[in-house]
A and B are shown apart, each in its own frame.
Chain A
Amino acid sequence: MSIAPSTSPFEPVVLAFTCNWCSYRAADLAGTARIKYPPSVRLIRLMCSGRLDPAFVLRAFASGADAVVMTGCWPADCHYRIQNVKALRRFELLHRVLVDLGIEPERFQRVYASAAEGQQLAAAFTRIVDEVRSLGPLAWGRQPGIAAESEAPADEPSTPALEGVPG
């Protein structure tokens, strides 16, 4: 359980996109029922998971999110009939791209939650936060280039290593 203030040094930031008709209301329900989940989860409301533009996810990661969750109606229960299917298609392709860009698969997940499933949604959030906490921060460090730049201001040319150079 990571609901209690965690002793772990690292607390991830998880951005969850919610559907106005199901998961957002599930989150409201979790609230009304005082069901707890980690504060590191932050919600953004869309009208439908089908509105989730891959650019939003990329922007979230670029702006410091350690994980992004796409939540929406159960298949076949979409408030807009079949639009969550389009969301699913984009999710699958975007997931492949993110993995190719070196982001762990656990950092981009999808969760189904009907308006009645506050409990389940909170549980999923808790689980995801636990997973991401054990992954650690989104490792820009895995790309030394970016790391290096983050240390040196962009306009100072930095020097590559000299290993293996004689003399």
Chain B
Amino acid sequence: MSGSDHNPAGEAIGAKAFVPSRRAVLVMGAAAASTVVTIRPALAQTAGSIINCEIPVPGPHAGGNFIAPDGNLVAPGTPGAAAPLSRPLRGEEVRSLLRSGSTPAGVDPQSAQAYANYIRRLQSGMSGFTCYASLQMPR
């Protein structure tokens, strides 16, 4: 959301016809700024209370594949890619990994980033997605 806290023409919204009472200055924002935030369904805050979930990295459909730093699956043994995790990550581990980058026990920080990016790329239908969705903060 852009930092424009002041909306000089705000009072006009909802009026039947648009009649500005005075000439106001409109801040158009930079081309790259964002002025629309859509409210998305949220489970994140309740995740700990409603689900004990795990995310396999990678999922069973890609067993054996390595994970590149950007989170993509690559052939086993690819240089610079992280080996598959031998155990699934618990929900709380994923939450702190995604939020603060803190590394799950027994995982080196560089691989952890690859795993985090893999998890961020999970989509509906993939193993671990609902767990991720329930932990995820709004985009």
The judgment on whether A and B are partners is: no
A residues adjacent to B (C-beta < 8 A): none
